[in-house]
Structure 1
């Protein structure tokens, strides 16, 4: 009931003029951000409610600003800017931006994972295969697989686990997509030395269908 009655403030009227523009340049419309904000507010509010009534009440004011948090989170995802750059843009501390991205990412994943990347059954796999043939003329294809190597500073005591033939340290972001470029499954954080096929075999998806 509390979530249903919680109303978001009009962030546009609360932000300085130069920050209002920044709400528009992520790749989400204002309506999409507002709709997602409502869900995230409820999700985060329920998380706080589980802790204690006193803690929850003290954070109600903060939840009213989750729409602005979604905007900053969208900026991070859409632009790939560093926390430092975003902190300068919004006049926030670097650690504050990091906390916003971390907390909002968890809430968004909890809310949308089953909707965006549900576990597929045989019927859906067959539909993907048919669509690959219809759209791209690839027979018996159930997904397009590729990986992105992200440069990192090697963690302490990690040895050569993240070392890659490109002569630096990486983690791997692996994605399987359907013929319309929608994600079917992802694997995040594999060692830079591993091959795409090896990462897939050892991922939850690979183990499920092995």
Structure 2
């Protein structure tokens, strides 16, 4: 007969007692529940928003349906099909349909509010609403990001560069980059990790976009308190420096004697790099440097508008999010994916981002987009790195600045624009 020593027997006894106690507590929790489903929520099929106002908008009023969901009915149905394999549930109770989960999530992301209010509207418990939101946002990311937020390849970078050249007269530019703070409620036991320089708590969304206001690179989740250089080099900066993100090889631009690398454009918060152009610092700049700063600002307007569209359409981003940081990251990721998904189709983009919704320019005269009327701007990050660069990086900036005052590189109104500003 197998024998065990006294210490082993004591250890096994403790393990059995612990397991038994945990099982008892779990069963007691369910035994002590007053209801399997709260009585008021048992009328969900008859009184809930999904069966009433949402169903009415879906069948009778496409404009109101867009205001509610930020997408067309066809795009909603397409998204339901994409999410069904990821969200279909099996339960002893009647599970919420994928369509209802998506409707709840889109309403919350598009209009903000509390999860309690969302639960009352859809006749579900607050805890159920919170679980549905997180699971659906994670499913949206898994379903959409491989197609609508995939990392660009060389052919994609060239297409983006063509867009910036034709719309903003910036040769070899493969995007505009910026970072924004996403306000959150202070997480428990987080100390000052998320406490930023504006004395609020936040995580950081760093993103680049193309000339059509589609996001191409994103990094979500840096602590609001993280050092400026750390935010920039966390993902995107490090990926470019290490070769994980590869731009096309440098090319000679007509009017230039040397090859010019492909590059991103950023504001004064970013450090100068061979692949990242920032404005010249200081005041009382020369005409050439002032023109360079003006021309760069035209290209940077794309990321400003992209963030403006994002925050005005998905208004949860304009409020202080009451959720754990990983849940907030899921919300923000879903908003970015939905932005690109909706803009990818003409039927959705016609409502989502009409021509008057973004800034437009005619011979240097800027007409501001309607998104600005909604006060939707997200708060920018501070300086993202020391203004220290290699000699080659500074020389490339000077070369591009010189190109902007050549016959091949100038725009007719730039001299008047710069002198009127100064």
TM-score by length of 2: 0.40
The residue aligned with 1:31 is 74
- The match for 2:107 among 52, 66, 75 is 75
Query: Is 1:118 the equivalent of 2:150?
Result: yes
User: Which deviations, in whole Å up to 9, do the C-alpha atoms of 1:107-151 show, x marking residues without a partner?
Assistant: 221111110011211221122122112112233322222223122
Q: Is the 8 A contact 2:87 2:98 kept in 1?
A: no
Corresponding residue for 2:95? 62
Say whether residues 1:148 and 2:183 are aligned partners: no
Q: Number of aligned residue pairs: give it.
A: 187
Q: CA separation in 2, counterparts of 1:59 and 1:185?
A: 42
Partner residue in 1 for 2:238: 207
In 1: Cα distance, 2:102 partner to 2:193 partner: 34
CA contact (8 A) 1:147 1:196 kept: no
Where in structure 2 are the equivalents of 1:92-107 lying within 5 Å? 92-107=124-139
Secondary structure at the aligned position of 2:197 is classed as coil
Structure 2: state its 5+ residue gaps: 1-44, 59-64, 242-422
Structure 1 residues 90-99 or 157-166, which shifts more?
157-166
Match of 1:41 among 84, 88, 101: 84
Residues 111 and 199 of structure 1: CA distance in aligned 2, closer, same or farther (over 3 Å): same
Evaluate the alpha carbon distance shift between residue 144 and residue 85 of structure 1 in structure 2; reply closer, same or farther with a 3 A threshold: farther
Contact 2:176 2:210 in 1 (8 A): yes
Is 1:185 the equivalent of 2:220? no
**Larger Rg, first or second structure (1 or 2):** 2
Name the residue aligned to 1:3: none
Q: Distance in 2 between matches of 1:166 and 1:159?
A: 16
2:169 to 137, 143, 148: 137
Q: Does 1:20 align with 2:55?
A: yes
Q: CA RMSD in A?
A: 2.8
CA drift of 1:30 comes to 2.1
Does the Cα contact within 8 Å between 1:174 and 1:196 map onto a contact in 2? no
SS for the counterpart of 2:173 is coil
Question: Do the aligned residues in 2 keep the contact of 1:132 with 1:139 (CA within 8 Å)?
Answer: yes
Which deviates the most, 86-95 or 177-186?
86-95
Query: What's the CA shift for 1:92?
Result: 2.3
- Rounded to whole Å, the distance in 2 between the matches of 1:107 and 1:60 is 22
Q: Which moved more, 1:74-83 or 1:99-108?
A: 74-83
| Bigger fraction of residues in helix | 1
User: What residue ranges of structure 1 are gaps of 5+ in the alignment?
Assistant: 1-10, 49-55
